[in-house]
Amino acid sequence: MDGMHPKAGLFSAVLTAFIIDRSQSIQPTPAAQSAFYQQQSVALLNQISQQLSSLGAQIPVPSNSSLPDFILSPSTSDVRVNIIWIISLVSSLTAALLATLIRQWARDHMRIFQYYRHPLKVARLRQYLYEGSSRRGYMRAIAEAVPGLVHISLFLFLAGLADFLLNTYTTVGTSTLFATVLCAMLYIIITVTPSVNPQSSYRTPFSPLVWYITRNLWRKSSAGGFRFTPLRLGFDIAEGQMRIAMRFGVARHLRDARAIGWLVNSLTFNVEDAGSLALAIIGTFDTRWCANAWVRERIDRNKELYRDIRRLFETCSNRRLFKDEDEWRVRARACTEAMALFVFSMGADISLIRHPGKVLSDIASSGGTREVSEIKSNQSFAIRWTCLSLVIIRKLLNSSELQSYAHTTLQQLSAFHPEDGLDPTETALRTARSIDEQFAAAWNHVERLRQALNTSEEKDLTRGRITKILRQNEPDLTPIQEQVESMERLGMDASLSELQQRINEETHGLIQKLPGVAFDDVTGTTTVGQTLDLVAGPVQPQLIYLSRLLRRLFGINQEWRNQGLQEMVRTLRSIEAIPSSLSQSHLMERQLWRLQDLSNGAFGFTLELYFLSIRQLLSTLPSPPSEIHETVFDRALWDITSDWQEFNSIGTRQIILDLVCDIAFRDRGIFSNVGYPGYITMTLLDLLRRMIAGQGGAFVEDAKREIRREDLTVFDPQFLSKARDILGQPHE
């Protein structure tokens, strides 16, 4: 209304000047007035003359003689022009009046909030007035009519002008009429444009009326006749446009995608914008469609965007750049998720990130990746961080220094019982199997002891009785003792501990922050119960310090001397049973394959980390996981295993074979009893098929025997069937 008021005033002023001029055409001119007065004078003189003549002749004077009237006769055109222009002036002045009134109404309405302090009074009065006028849109309708009045006034003026000029000078009038018609046609086109093309922003004050009429007609014809159907789109074009813009469909999807593309291309990419975008991106990947929108608009090919997000992610390694810990945490987590989305959903090159392990490790130090409660509180972050970390770990573990450490540890096993004619791998395997046998024997000893203690009555458990039970088993312990002493002599635990330390250093401690991954601790005391939890629990460490554990099991006979008899009895009785599967857990053999794999690039080791982490994440997710989470899991697995041809060592193959057997059978090993999603297990089987193609020898034959075992309980029959098919295939 601020602009309308002076415009209407300006137009009225211009119009008035024309009206003053043309109004004279309908007023008596001086010449006409002079002629009229002369005519009246002649008539009067004639009347006087007749009266004077009548005095002498006694002639009666007609009493009905009268003076002539003044007759004004303007042309029809003048009358028409004046009518049109005066209506135009009235319209214009009415617009100015309404503009003034609307401003006053608005002022009066806002005074509610100034005059009254009591909130209840304000609320009630405001609601009272709102329901009376504002809500029904009367004020808005009047406000929108004001420009219409000015426009009507303008066109009336132009029509009058053309009419006037046509009757004054035809050529000038025709030109004016032509220009006026052109202007009117343009106005009409603009008026109907929103009705024809609802996406158009062009409109006039009469467009809502045309919109309403055309929508009404369209609805009637689309219904197959002229049956009345109530309108749901009123005069409000904006509301109608909103409804159309929100309509579900392919067009909307494409528009949304283009909006994202426009946004990305419009950002100037300073740190603030990139930070805002990083925060914003992650929320758009909740569904596959949203993720595809980025690809559809080729935003994934926007190298500048990825570069800026990547740089932002890298700045998170320096906390001094941030105002406080919270700001760093929010930015770092957002960048991590954005990076994960770029890598897993848009195929960005992860190798371009500088020092990713350190940044990811720092971010995990602030929590949110390992504890179940933390994972549940922000599942998307935990999933994206874990999968990104796994892919990074895969690259970090493929270091020559680490391979050298792993190789040294592996050589210790080969040197354990060197035999002529055997290659180092076979010698190491024999050693590992020997240790596993002693480990199983040690558990059997513990189990026998536990059973003996449990079957005895409390009153019969005298020191003499227990000593007798312990001594009965002592002959079986001699080989275990020899094994432990040999392992300790070679420093196997120390070597493994050093390897674990190197792994932690290479990965900046990233592995230790992965969900669902357990670690053995070479220091610290353990009881038999804790040892059992470590090796028979749902999550076993990948690297276990077996000589220490073996000594613990073997040393249980001496334990009662140190801890006291009752303590040992209580410990053993607290154990429900030693699982029979422990005797076939092949902990050392599996550890051997891990060492062999670590000395060849850690492909299988990382794959195990993937399955351990995914198991933990899946346990916190609704079943099945959302489509977008599946995409991240699937893509991370692909990224980890895509270069399998370079890392097809015997240790890697054995790790994968053990993984497959664990998934197929219940209680077989570290990966048993978990319902991994089909897209993961199928990828694993496909990997197995490709890795064993062309491979033979005793190890593959062992795997074939293992997968055909009948003494184990099947966990996933379908998976087992496919695994058997793959392992049963003739070698290519």
Partner 1 sequence: MDPDTETEVDLGFSDSANPLWSLYGRISKEYDTANLNDLTSGMDGLLVFVRSLSSTLSLL
Q: Footprint of partner 1 on this chain (CB under 8 A)?
A: 7, 10, 13-14, 17-18, 215, 219, 222, 231-233, 243-244, 246-248, 252-253, 256, 259-260, 262-263, 266-267, 276-277, 279-284, 286-287, 289-290
The C-alpha atoms of residue 425 and residue 411 are separated, in whole angstroms, by: 9
- Is the CB of 379 or the CB of 673 nearer to partner 1? 379
Interatomic CA distance for residues 218 and 226, integer angstroms: 10
Work out how close the CB of 307 gets to partner 1 at its nearest, in angstroms, rounded to a whole number.
Answer: 19
Torsion of Cα atoms, 201 then 202 then 206 then 211, to 10°: -50
CB-nearer residue toward partner 1: 127 or 221: 221
Q: Where are the alpha helices (DSSP H) in 397-507?
A: 400-414, 424-455, 463-490, 492-506
In this complex, which beta carbon is closest to partner 1, that of residue 240 or of residue 601? 240
CB 599 within 8 A of CB 403: yes
Residue 714 DSSP one-character state: B
Collapsed DSSP state (helix, strand, coil) of residue 456: coil
Which residue, chain included where needed, has tokens 């949110």?
368
Closest to partner 1 by CB, 221 vs 478, is 221
291 vs 688 by CB, closer to partner 1? 291
Which of 294, 443 has the CB closer to partner 1?
294
* Buried residues in 244-269 as b, exposed as e (16+ CB within 10 A): eeeeeeeeeeeebbeebbeebeebeb
The minimum distance between CB 270 and partner 1, in angstroms, equals 13
**CB of 563: closest distance to partner 1 in angstroms?**
55
Give, in order, the Cα–Cα distances in Å from 483 to each of 128, 310, 475, 548: 92, 52, 14, 11
By C-alpha distance, which of 153, 151, 138 is closest to 203? 151
Angstrom CA distances, 439 to 409, 549, 726, stand at 20, 9, 32
Q: What is the CA radius of gyration of the chain?
A: 48
| Least distance CB 294 / partner 1 (angstroms) | 11
DSSP state at residue 577: -
Position 607, amino acid: L
From the CB of 280, what's the least distance to partner 1, in Å?
Answer: 4
Give least dist CB 503 to partner 1, A: 36
CB of 505 to partner 1, least distance (A): 37
Amino acid at 102: I
Closest listed residue to residue 653, CA positions, set 603, 725, 606, 580? 603
Q: Cα(208)–Cα(238) distance, rounded to whole angstroms?
A: 9
Q: Least distance to partner 1 from the beta carbon of 279, Å?
A: 5
Distance in angstroms (rounded) separating the CA atoms of residues 94 and 372: 71
Token digits of residue 507 = 């990965």
- Residue 146 or residue 281: which is nearer to partner 1 going by CB? 281
Residue 330 or 494 having the CB closest to partner 1: 330
Residue 24 vs 501, nearer CB to partner 1: 24
Cβ at position 254, least distance to partner 1 in Å: 11
Contacts of 382 (CB under 8 A, 6+ apart): 368, 369, 374, 375, 515, 617, 620
Using an 8 Å Cβ cutoff, are 552 and 526 in contact?
yes
Between 7 and 126, whose beta carbon lies closer to partner 1? 7
Nearer to partner 1, 337 or 520 (CB): 337
Q: What is the DSSP letter of 350?
A: G
- The residue (of 7 and 311) whose beta carbon lies closer to partner 1 is 7
Nearer to partner 1, 201 or 642 (CB): 201
Backbone angles phi, psi at 665, to 5 degrees: -110, 150
CB of 229 to partner 1, least distance (A): 9
DSSP 206: T
Write the CB contacts of 46 (distance below 8 Å, at least 6 apart in sequence).
Answer: none
* Nearest CB to partner 1, comparing residues 261 and 555: 261
Whether the Cβ atoms of residue 278 and residue 335 lie closer than 8 Å to each other: yes
What are the phi and psi torsion angles at 202 (to 5°)? -80, 135
Nearest-approach distance from CB 276 to partner 1, in angstroms:
5
- To the nearest whole angstrom, how small is the minimum distance from the Cβ of residue 76 to partner 1? 25
Least distance (Å) between residue 635 CB and partner 1: 20
**3-state per-residue secondary structure call for 271-326:** HHHHHHHHHHHHHHHCCHHHHHHHHHCCHHHCHHHHHHHHHHHHHCCCHHHCCCHH
Q: How far is the CB of 18 from partner 1 (least distance, A)?
A: 7
